[in-house]
Structure 1
Amino acid sequence: MKVLHVVTLHTPTHEFGGPTRVALSQCRGLRERGHRAVLAALGDGFGAGAELPREVEGAHVRLFQARHVLPRFEVSGITSPTLLARAWSYVRSADLVHVHLMRDLITLPVALLALQAGTPLVLQTHGMVDPTEKRVARLVDALGVRRVLRRADAVLHLTERERAETAAVVAPEPIAPQYRLVNGVPAQESRRKTSGPPTVLYLARVQAGKRPEDFVAAMPTVLARHPDARFVLAGPDTGALADTLARAESLGVRGSLDRVGALDRAEVMAWLRRADVFVLPSVQDAFSVSALEAMSVGTPVVVTETTGLAPDVARAGAGRVVASRADEDNGPRLGGAILDLLAPEANERASRAAFRLVEEHFTIDAVLDELLTVYGRVTGAAGPPRV
């Protein structure tokens, strides 16, 4: 099968985060299973005159230099006339088009082209398409988002909340058939083993919605009991680094905070294996790939109750789930959860549970099995009933 994946953006530092990483993982897995999968996206941040890569993390890609035509809208305001000019031939030559959809100038136009071409279309929204009162977003919905959500062959969701919110965008008209597809990560052969002073890790984009300031606010509670603990803030800065570091200074804990920038895949896995606890205070992640990667090596996680992974983490005992309140100081609550997991016996139990949770439910092989079943249904093969 020849599958065209489309996502908005890829940068060397993975600033667009989860959707691109998921798309790359799916493309790589499909090719390993003998399918012809390629990912089309914008490329940015590679430097003036640099040649854009044709392969990223084992996935074949077609990257086109991003043009920032509407800077006010950040990722939603970038495009490439060259990519759009070639999109018709890409869509027509594919057996199936899989669009990682958002309200933008790349994924939405390609989805509309797939409808026009009659090529089977699968949409995956990653929690990025939900009801909104923003006028520009509602205009984009009217111009195309509702149409593709109604007429696609399949719409994939991570959680029940995402399923309901995506359907609400087109209500009262019916949405296309919906199927659940979770994120997956490569299975690991062994759990991590840590030693020395405790290491507490934040590894994600440093942006307001992921609440890195809450990570810093947890430090005094933990340092009161573990004064030698190291807190590591890793990931590309997408707008919140200055405020986060300022918060650490104001709390008097800057000396215990190590700032690590953007990491490649090998560095990501090395840091996850080094950490005693992984912390993601985000209130916007539908289904964090970073948290899955942490658990895949047996690192217990602390996540907020709003993430799609929270029920699985709580049920398996793979970490701690905490409440996050916009109008409260979440630091003590988060710090208490970290302290729980730094207790040796609790850490070992949670580590085993985290490793087992990913191994049994969230490997990329299991995800690909589900994805290929959906592909089979939309291209005419038999498959399980709609979810």
Structure 2
Amino acid sequence: MRRLADSGADSVTLAAAYHSVRAATPRHPGHRVVDAHEAALYTMVRPAAWAGRALRPEPPGAWAAPDSFARASDTVTEAGLAVEAWIVLTHSSVAGGRVPDACVTNAFGDVYSYALCPSDDRVVEYATTLVSEIALDGAEGLVLEACGPLGFEHAGRHEKTEGGGWGRGAIALLSLCFCRSCRRALEASGLDPEEVAAHVRASVDRNADVDALGGVADVLLQVRRRSTARLAESVVSAARDGGVRRIAVHAQPDPWGVGPASAVLGRVEGVDSYIVPTSALEEGRAAADLRDRCGGASLAAYVSGMPPRAPDAPEKSWPALVDAGVDELYVYHAGLLDDERLTGVERGLAAVRSR
């Protein structure tokens, strides 16, 4: 931790509620691989807060203590760094597997059990309670991942889908939700959900994209935006009520964006910073344009020291992001990097500090 403090980092983001993962731990004193088999809450799970709810988090497996977030927070603060709690909201295979009718369901009726649908009231309640409980553990800042719907991708299991031949457009269509709550929302918007689903199915099989839906696409996008905004507003309000001082949200400018970074730019009062993938800048979007979409919040770039980028990529590329107008960098992921790559991160931060 001292190495991070000396690198020029301001804060460390710790997993408070996280999806399942298998990760390398090259600097752990006793292990080299973590196998977190299920999504888990790494603060204490208080039974009273979750009593009677079908959607609820689970404590971690035997690999981590139930109070691991608090213990890690102490280590970070002792090194003089601030702590932010990383909360994954709608990506939970353990919660979704328990309540499949609260999950994203595509036009063919296939349920994505890893993807909780924010149109469902139970999902909003789950995410809001999750944030409230983590705020009770004293987190001063939050980083919210999956603050909106997930889609076809980012499942987390061994993927055997590349042979389907679907392009980006068809994957966007396969990410549209037709769960019970979304069907009700479509009906309230004047559409017949089954007719829309049939249109989507036919478009997928033609390997088309959302433009093939014509004016229906606009209604589908508005339904998704409303549910995403409702989720985000609820969790941000809960965080503020819990005394959280700073809130950052993983986001992206694509209006059809789903997954870890949802399309919530400029939509939520009370968000301090939006963390956008560097690809959004690398694709030619000016930082000024993205900041306008952020509605006055800070613009942060989500940068990586991980493969396939070269170990010296941070030093070469991160200063240019700052020069382009990015306010902050969120670096992924110090705990997963070997010494060569961590050194590359340190040099990248030093190069940014020297601007």
TM-score, reference length from structure 1: 0.32
TM-score, reference length from structure 2: 0.34
